[in-house]
Amino acid sequence: MLDKKEFEAELLGIFRDLIRIDTSNPPGNEAVAAKYVHDVLAKEGIPAKVLNSTPTRGSVVGRLKGSGAKRPVLLLAHLDVVPVEAERWSVKPFAAELSGGHIWGRGTLDIKNLVAMELMAMMLVKRRGLKLNRDIILAATADEEAGGAYGARWLIENHFDEISAEYVINEGGFGVVMDGKKFFLCQTAEKGICWMKVTVRGEGGHGSIPTERNPVVQMGNAISRIGQHSFPVARTPLVEKLITGLEKLNALPEGLTAQRVFTDEKCLVTHPSKLAKRLNAFVRATATPTFVKSGTKVNVIPVEAEFSVDCRLLPGASPDEMIETVKKLIGLPDVEYEILQKKPGTESRTDTELWPVLESCVKELHPDAAFVSYMSPGGTDSGFLREKGIVCYGFDPTFLTWEEVDTIHGVDERVSVENLTTGVLMLYRVLERFCT
């Protein structure tokens, strides 16, 4: 049996070092963190290499050899983090302070926690001399937060043999504690992305002489049409399974039934709970206006106005259909569209050898937790690997409240030491069971 005391101090040391390496993306600068992980692996006698897409954008790949009887499993996580608004934090975001049983800082939940846990679990497998029937690969990548062009996507295009595997364990799914109940949301799918820039052209002129073709007004109307549009609930097997599963566990937001979620358009979006907001993003496509830009002076009507729309689609849905829908909602005569990014949603099957192993390991460490398959509304590096035919599961063994989940990309992000150590126990168990 593995005891936390065996690795806790070492794990916290590695984790806090990683948090202190500022990998805010942009600009990223992940090469420093990649080198750090490389050196930890090398010291342990695990062969590793840093692969740089540019001099400062590095990813690291390490490999623990097995007999080769089965194909490898890839432990994946990213090294970059999103930028901080330091003045809103109650601690220094890159100091990795330990207080109240938590380590605080940017990346503690997204997702240097998983980097450290995967790294520690892999080292323990090596140290304990497990006889592996497959290779265990660890890849900590650059640039996930900005789309992966300098990280996972670049690795797949240039060094696929280094990370090619039968299964991937990555971020995207995690444990949730709500109303005293525990759920493990194991990510099997993620929504697709379609990001658009829209330029509305109209008639400029003096601010004292209004015109119907004022592009700012036209843009405002278009934005409000998009904002008020509700896409229908997509009753795919994945959606049905999650909603009816939550109903059986008595875990739908208060007052809601599966039937109502499927038939009452607005019941999720108008419900006050945080879970309802998330479920709303789960059951349907969404189109969200984000930034707007126009004008230079208070008394001048500009000739054009620009805004962006962040569209998210369910696996199986076509980005082009989404684009057509948004164009119809905009419905203006003189508009130019630029597609900034277009990526379909992806899904992995669950009738695999790994799925029941993940479920049993969660239940052994959290006997009261329900294990459910989940689709994340945002994208991860798993999208690229699923497109290569690899089965990917989002399996970050951290249990959080929704309030804690909100600190991801937000303020005062922190993780409990308990979560980190139990997470290592869980990942170690998965590797022991699945790779020997």
Nearer to Zn ion, 144 or 347 (CB): 144
| Minimum gap (Å) between residue 174 Cβ and Zn ion | 11
Which tokens in the block code for residue 66?
A: 């097995």
How many other β-carbons are positioned within 10 Å of the β-carbon of residue 306? 17
The residue among 207 and 378 lying less far from Zn ion, judged by its C-beta, is 378
What span, in angstroms and rounded, lies between the C-alpha atoms of 30 and 14?
16
Q: Which is nearer to Zn ion, 76 or 287 (CB)?
A: 76
Contact 114, 122 (CB under 8 A): no
C-beta atoms surrounding 13 within 10 Å: 12
111 vs 268 by CB, closer to Zn ion: 111
CA distance 249 to 286: 27
Closest distance to Zn ion from the beta carbon of 25 (Å): 10
Instruction: Please give the residue ranges that form the binding site for Zn ion (CB under 5 A).
Output: 110-111, 171
Q: How far apart are CA 145 and CA 154, in angstroms?
A: 14
Task: Assess contact for 196 and 311: CB atoms under 8 A.
Answer: yes
> 173 vs 215, which CB is nearer to Zn ion?
173
Q: What is the CA radius of gyration of the chain?
A: 23
What's the min distance (Å) between Cβ of 409 and Zn ion? Answer: 9
Residue 175 beta carbon to Zn ion: minimum distance, rounded to whole angstroms: 16
Shortest CB 375 distance to Zn ion, Å: 16
Task: Determine how many CB atoms are found less than 10 A away from the CB of residue 333.
Answer: 9
The answer to whether the CB of 394 falls within 8 A of the CB of 382 is yes
Min dist. Cβ of residue 349 to Zn ion (A): 23
Could you tell me the smallest distance in angstroms from the CB atom of residue 420 to Zn ion? 16
Instruction: State which residue, 111 or 415, has the beta carbon closest to Zn ion.
Output: 111
Provide the minimum distance between the beta carbon of 144 and Zn ion in the complex, in angstroms, as a whole number.
6
Residue written as tokens 């240039």?
Answer: 158
CA–CA distances in Å: residue 405 to residues 85, 110, 173 = 17, 10, 11
Cα(101)–Cα(99) distance, rounded to whole angstroms? 5
**Cβ-contact 161, 71 below 8 angstroms:** no
Give the nearest distance from C-beta 400 to Zn ion in angstroms: 14
State the angle between helix axes of 319-330 and 215-228 in degrees (0 to 180), rounded to the nearest 10.
130
Amino acid sitting at position 232? P
Q: Which is nearer to Zn ion, 380 or 422 (CB)?
A: 380
Using the minimum distance from each CB to Zn ion, give the nearer residue, 172 or 253. 172
Least separation in angstroms between residue 109's CB and Zn ion is 9
CB of 185 to Zn ion, least distance (A): 15
Is residue 100 helix, strand or coil? Answer: coil
DSSP-derived secondary structure for 191-230:
-EEEEEEEEEE---EETTS--TT-HHHHHHHHHHHHHH--
| Tokens read off for 296 | 């230079």
Which lies closer to Zn ion via its Cβ, residue 111 or residue 152?
Answer: 111
Residue type, 134: R
What's the DSSP call for residue 231?
P
Which residues does 374 contact at the CB level (< 8 Å), separation at least 6? 173, 185, 186, 187, 188, 189, 242, 394
Pick the closer one to Zn ion by CB: 110 or 413. 110
Q: In this structure, are strands 57-64 and 136-141 parallel, antiparallel, or unpaired?
A: antiparallel
Q: Please, are residues 100 and 20 in contact by the beta-carbon 8 Å criterion?
A: no
Q: Are 136 and 121 in contact (CB under 8 A)?
A: no
Beta bridge partners of 338: 197
22 vs 110, beta carbon nearer Zn ion = 110
